[in-house]
């Protein structure tokens, strides 16, 4: 992709109404006009700094070696961006929250869906296990009662006391 002439937003930013960032990988970073750098900030601090300023349009790590450090922030138009096959950097571009599609859904929402689905499933499985245990204990108690009732009885008396339910 070649964005050397810039690009136009579909919708204007809403600033303090939940703007988000989309990460683009392997880019030649925009021209340094209208940019600001800080060598001591980390990426999380850089993001927070960008969100504080409504004219901030993108941010990235200043130095990508060793896990990244520093902060570079752009204001206004992002000019001369190109996707490169190797050696490019990641750039976090500010977009209106409503512009982010399903593939950019935060991990927290995915975790919430998993919790909502798995919690009832766990309760159902637990209920089945408790019911099975109760039935097994009741069946075992019934067999013991039959044994006690037949103790000392003659064979014809024992056969008379047995019923169909004692076998199942």
pLDDT tens over the chain, length 168 residues: 455 565 667 777 878 777 889 899 888 888 888 899 999 999 999 999 999 998 999 999 987 766 678 899 999 888 888 888 887 889 999 988 777 754 455 666 777 888 888 888 888 888 889 888 878 777 766 655 555 555 555 555 555 555 544 454
- What is the Cα–Cα distance from 75 to 150, expressed in whole angstroms? 92
Q: The domain containing residue 143 runs over which residues?
A: 109-167
7 and 80, same domain (yes or no):
yes
145 and 158, same domain (yes or no):
yes
147 and 93, same domain (yes or no):
no
CATH number at residue 66: 3.50.4
90 and 114, same domain (yes or no):
no
Instruction: Extract the tokens encoding 136.
Output: 């097994």
83 and 46, same domain (yes or no):
yes
The DSSP H or E segment spanning 76 is none
113 and 80, same domain (yes or no):
no
pTM of the model: 0.56
97 and 48, same domain (yes or no):
yes
- Contact of 59 with 92, CB cutoff 8 Å: yes
- Contact of 4 with 80, CB cutoff 8 Å: yes
Give the distance between the most distant pair of CA atoms in the chain: 106
The last residue of one of the domains, among 104, 133, 154, is 104
59 and 137, same domain (yes or no):
no
89 and 129, same domain (yes or no):
no
The total domain count for the chain is 2
Instruction: Extract the tokens encoding 4.
Output: 């050397």
28 and 78, same domain (yes or no):
yes
């Amino acid at each position: 992709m070649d964005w050397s002439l810039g690009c136009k937003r579909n919708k204007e930013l809403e600033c303090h109404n939940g703007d988000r960032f989309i990460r683009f990988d392997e880019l030649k970073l925009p021209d340094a006009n209208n940019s600001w750098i800080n060598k001591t900030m980390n990426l999380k601090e850089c993001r927070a700094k960008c969100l504080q300023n409504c004219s901030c349009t993108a941010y990235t790590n200043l130095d990508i070696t060793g896990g990244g450090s520093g902060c570079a922030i752009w204001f206004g138009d992002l000019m001369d961006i190109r996707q490169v096959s190797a050696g490019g950097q990641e750039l976090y571009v500010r977009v209106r929250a409503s512009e982010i599609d399903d593939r950019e859904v935060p991990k927290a929402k995915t975790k919430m869906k998993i919790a909502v689905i798995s919690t009832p499933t766990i309760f159902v499985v637990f209920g089945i296990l408790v019911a099975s245990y109760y039935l097994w204990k009741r069946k075992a108690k019934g067999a013991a009662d039959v044994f006690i009732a037949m103790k000392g009885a003659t064979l014809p008396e024992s056969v008379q006391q047995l019923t169909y339910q004692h076998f199942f």
